[in-house]
């Protein structure tokens, strides 16, 4: 088979000899003919990413109605409309519409993530057809085509380099690494990682410098980015545990409604002699009381408010339900560059004058100084070295869109530029004093760069920087303490030993040299007999806040795993500085040699994975998930998108990340900072605590209503509270305080707890017992009030109070009055319920002033219902007298005593949270 067709096996084009590559592709360095290209296009298809037909907007909208809870709300609205309460039906319908439209907007935006890959495709390419350079539609390129790429071009397809001139490619969109990659012809090992294949270019990466002739090896879905698109399309879609639990809760409520209504119907119609209309109204009351109408709105608003708080801390939430999952994250897999580190190369060590110096400061901050033995160096001591670093440098000063001054150029050169300023040079003034008149460019073959400058006395001097071995090889002299002398073999060995020492500390080392008194131009032949100046060792340092953030994560039971494309030495050095275990580092090649079972056994003991490709990320992620972990995964390059989408919480980088990765993610870090992930986890735990609180609060209220209606019906009292009164409680007097519980402050120990187990949902055994207990206590305290105000007896058929103390009511009992007392009693007990639920989180009643205001509003609205003609008409209530308020106060006090004892018992038998 030819042209890359090897069945299911991919051809390792990067490891073949160039002649073998051309032979297998049946092409030459001059390309193929137009007719041959047409035939190959028919066989291979167009050079574009095939995106499957996405889900239609209509289908996305209809899928919002698959939740049982939504259908319960729809049925509730229909029931209310059927009994003539059109206003209440409209309120419920509006809640349903809001929930479904919000979910539609979120899901529709997520569908755009795969389509974004197709939109990245290049439009035109320069190909050699029939021996001539021809502009063709990039979508019509085929394996075997030879194309020309140059500075500024987007690479049109994956290909092997035939020839190049100073080629440098930005592969950040693919690999996430910000440093440009030098490319050259040649052969690399078959197991070389994607980011290290220096003889190969990839579709949709960008040529930053130079030109090249490339033979196309893969097109369309077979390209690296095409394979990523396929993986992204196959990424496992999963509901968050919270979404699953809310759906399960809806089904349980529906089943409970059917069961209770059936019991009431059979009991009253078959056994009893209750009128069918009364049974129907009771059934409606049960249905409406069982449905937590305010819950979806409260959940959505709470998540939205939490997401807004997180956005203020640079974490933008794209999928609201994922906020809940943050609370159970127990592993964070993170990139190194730009997330754990500054992504700003910083000179830390300098070797010159036979001595080693230290450079203080971090990143591109100009504050810092040069030290020897912890003391500042003398003025001018290293001027020649730093002058060389500044002048043999293409860094420029510029401004961002907001007007802030910044550096423009390669990160390594910017680091040298900043070091020069720390040494006292004003680079702009220096470059004016030493204008560049000629240069010999850096190439991957040369491994060095030389520039020629006119000196202030109208002479000329050449400056060189490059790989230490290369620069030292071209030096015959060295400068020490201002004196130039011959370089001995001992000097060479000492320089190279210091280079190795710096490299072992994960420093990237460059050597510097100069040549005085040169002519007005320079070429490679002149790069000889140089004077060695010294070494500068630099590193991308950890962000200062990262060690503390990692320490906090570890204290919270969250394992942090670094997955980087960098080498093991650098990864270990950074890992040690930020607090990770660096004794066991697994590289990409070692990972490839492991079976799934072997990786499963070792993954728990590894904090650092080095020299890893994006496909390794997905494998590590899935192994951690298979071990039961809830994993947050960061990513920035296009090829990180599958891992980010498969993670329990996918985190994209907002500064250097690609659109594709952002759209596949759940959260976008606006500052690319690991410490922001820690803040997001803190925010997620706070939100989850608050969700638990108001779910407990709302469901206990619903439970109390259902229990009251059921018990009252079984006791022969009929409907103890009307459906419209229940709706008012659920949506208004309970709903408003529940909304404000969403902004409750975090508990003091929130980041000292272990992560929530993955299988543990919102409703724990403690909350379930709490709901049942509160419902029972409310019934015990309120049912006697209904009986007293309806029949004149505290208990139906047994006038305990009247017989013992001769009590007779001073008012005319009646059903409407009794319902009004129970209706108001539910509202009064909300204050006790709220504080009983919040107490175990260490929160006092005044810790949330919004909650205090909400309770005040709810009570005020209840009084308006009781004492205004319109309220009395709409809700079928009577104004209450002092005696009734005393009854409600006594019942509420009894409820508070029962709740206090109940909380003590719960603390003894259940976990606190």
Angstrom distance (rounded) from CA 101 to CA 569: 51
Question: What separation in angstroms does the CA of 869 have from each of 517, 865, 875?
Answer: 103, 8, 10
Angstrom distance (rounded) from CA 898 to CA 147: 82
Query: Dihedral, CA atoms, 829, 835, 836, 842, nearest 10 degrees?
Result: 180
Question: What separation in angstroms does the CA of 136 have from each of 43, 131, 208, 219?
Answer: 18, 14, 22, 14
| DSSP characters over 337-384 | TTTTB-SS-EEEEEEETTEEEEE---TT-----EEETTEEPPTTTTHH
Angstrom distance (rounded) from CA 657 to CA 669: 9
Of 88, 153, 330, 335, catalytic:
335
Tell me the residue ranges of DSSP E strands in 543-647. 559-563, 585-587, 608-610, 631-635
Angstrom distance (rounded) from CA 348 to CA 465: 17
Angstrom distance (rounded) from CA 907 to CA 913: 10
Q: Exposed (0-12), middle (13-18) or buried (19+): which is 481, by Cβ within 10 Å? A: exposed
Query: Dihedral, CA atoms, 836, 837, 839, 843, nearest 10 degrees?
Result: -130
3-state secondary structure (DSSP) of residue 738 = helix
Would residue 373 show up in a list of annotated catalytic residues for this protein? Answer: no
Alpha helices in 715-829 (DSSP H): 723-728, 735-741, 765-791, 800-805, 815-828
Cα 439 from chain centre = 45
Q: Which two tokens stand for residue 335?
A: 């990139």
> Which residues touch 832 (CB under 8 Å, ≥6 apart)?
892, 895, 896, 899
Cβ(191)–Cβ(124) under 8 Å? no
Cα 324 from chain centre = 13
**Residues annotated as part of the active site:** 335
């Amino acid at each position: 088979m030819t042209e890359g067709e090897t069945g299911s096996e991919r051809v390792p084009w990067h490891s073949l000899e160039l002649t073998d590559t051309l032979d297998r592709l049946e092409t030459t360095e001059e390309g193929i003919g137009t007719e041959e290209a047409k035939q190959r296009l028919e066989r291979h298809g167009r050079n574009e990413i095939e995106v499957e037909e996405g889900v239609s907007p209509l289908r996305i909208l209809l899928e919002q109605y698959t939740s049982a809870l939504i259908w319960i709300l729809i049925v509730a609205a229909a029931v209310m409309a059927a009994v003539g309460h059109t206003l209440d039906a409209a309120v419920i319908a509006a809640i349903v519409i809001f929930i479904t439209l919000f979910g539609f907007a979120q899901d529709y935006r997520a569908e755009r993530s795969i389509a974004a890959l197709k939109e990245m495709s290049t439009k035109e390419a320069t190909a050699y057809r029939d021996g001539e350079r021809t502009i063709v539609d990039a979508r019509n390129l085929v394996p075997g085509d030879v194309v020309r790429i140059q500075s500024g071009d987007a690479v049109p397809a994956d290909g092997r380099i035939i020839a190049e001139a100073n080629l440098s490619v930005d592969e950040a969109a693919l690999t996430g690494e910000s440093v440009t990659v030098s490319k050259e012809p040649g052969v690399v090992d078959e197991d070389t990682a994607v980011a290290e294949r220096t003889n190969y270019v990839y579709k949709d990466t960008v040529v930053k410098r130079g030109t090249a002739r490339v033979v196309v090896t893969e097109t369309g879905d077979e390209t690296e980015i095409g394979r990523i698109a396929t993986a992204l399309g196959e990424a496992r879609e999963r509901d968050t545990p919270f979404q699953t639990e809310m759906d399960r809760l809806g089904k349980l409520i529906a089943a409970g409604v059917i069961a209770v209504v059936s019991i009431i119907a059979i009991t009253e119609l078959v056994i009893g002699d209750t009128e069918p209309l009364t049974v129907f109204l009771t059934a409606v009351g049960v249905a409406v009381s069982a449905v937590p109408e305010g819950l979806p709105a409260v959940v959505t608003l709470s998540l939205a408010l939490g997401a807004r708080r997180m956005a203020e801390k640079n974490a933008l939430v794209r999928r609201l339900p994922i906020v809940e999952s943050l609370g159970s994250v127990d592993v964070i897999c993170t990139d190194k560059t730009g997330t754990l580190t500054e992504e700003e190369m910083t000179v830390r060590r300098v070797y010159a004058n036979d001595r080693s110096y230290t450079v203080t400061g971090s990143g591109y901050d100009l504050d810092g100084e040069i030290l020897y033995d912890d003391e500042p160096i003398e003025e001018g001591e290293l001027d020649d070295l730093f002058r060389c670093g500044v002048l043999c440098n293409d860094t420029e000063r510029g401004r961002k869109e907001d007007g802030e001054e910044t550096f423009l150029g390669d990160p390594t050169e910017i680091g040298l530029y900043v070091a020069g300023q720390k040494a006292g040079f004003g680079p702009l003034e220096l470059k004016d004093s030493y204008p560049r008149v000629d240069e010999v460019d850096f190439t991957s073959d040369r491994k060095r760069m030389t520039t020629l400058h006119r000196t202030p006395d109208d002479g000329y001097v050449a400056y060189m920087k490059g790989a230490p071995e290369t620069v030292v090889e071209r030096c015959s002299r060295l400068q020490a303490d201002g004196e130039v002398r011959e370089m001995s073999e001992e000097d060479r060995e000492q320089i190279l030993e210091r280079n190795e020492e710096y490299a072992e500390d994960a420093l990237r080392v460059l050597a510097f040299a100069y040549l005085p008194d040169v002519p007005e131009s320079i070429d490679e032949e002149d790069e000889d007999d140089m004077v060695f100046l010294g070494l500068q060792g630099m590193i991308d340092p950890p962000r200062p806040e990262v060690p503390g953030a990692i320490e906090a994560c570890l204290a919270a039971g969250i394992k942090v795993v670094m997955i980087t494309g960098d080498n093991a030495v650098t990864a270990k050095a950074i890992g040690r500085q930020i607090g990770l275990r660096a004794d066991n580092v697994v590289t990409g090649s070692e990972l490839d040699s492991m079976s799934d079972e072997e990786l499963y056994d070792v993954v728990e003991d590894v904090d650092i994975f080095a020299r890893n490709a994006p496909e390794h990320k997905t494998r590590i992620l899935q192994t951690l998930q298979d071990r039961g972990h809830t994993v947050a995964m960061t990513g920035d390059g296009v090829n990180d998108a599958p891992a980010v989408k498969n993670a329990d919480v996918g985190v994209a980088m907002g500064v250097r990340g690609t659109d594709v990765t952002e759209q596949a993610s759940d959260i976008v870090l606006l500052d690319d900072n690991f410490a922001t992930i820690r803040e997001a986890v803190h925010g997620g735990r706070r939100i989850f605590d608050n969700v638990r609180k108001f779910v407990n609060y709302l469901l206990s209220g619903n439970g109390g209503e259902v229990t009251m209606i059921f018990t009252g019906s079984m006791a022969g009292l009929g409907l103890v509270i009307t459906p419209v009164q229940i709706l008012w409680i659920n949506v208004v007097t309970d709903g408003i305080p529940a909304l404000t519980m969403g902004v409750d402050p975090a508990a003091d120990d929130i980041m000292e707890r272990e992560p929530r187990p993955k299988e543990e949902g919102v409703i724990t055994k403690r909350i379930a017992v709490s709901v049942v207990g509160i419902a029972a206590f409310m019934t015990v305290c309120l049912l006697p009030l209904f009986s007293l105000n309806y029949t004149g007896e505290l208990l139906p058929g047994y006038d305990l109070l009247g017989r013992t103390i001769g009590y007779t009511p001073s008012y005319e009992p009646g059903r409407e009055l009794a319902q009004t007392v129970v209706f108001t009693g539910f509202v009064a007990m909300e204050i006790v319920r709220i504080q009983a639920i919040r107490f175990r989180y260490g929160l006092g009643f005044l810790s949330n002033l919004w909650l205090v205001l909400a309770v005040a509003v709810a009570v005020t609205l209840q009084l308006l219902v009781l004492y205004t003609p319109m309220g009395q008409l709409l809700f079928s209530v009577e104004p209450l007298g002092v005696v009734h308020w005393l009854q409600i106060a006594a019942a509420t006090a009894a409820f508070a005593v029962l709740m206090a004892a109940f909380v003590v018992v719960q603390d003894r038998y259940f976990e606190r949270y």
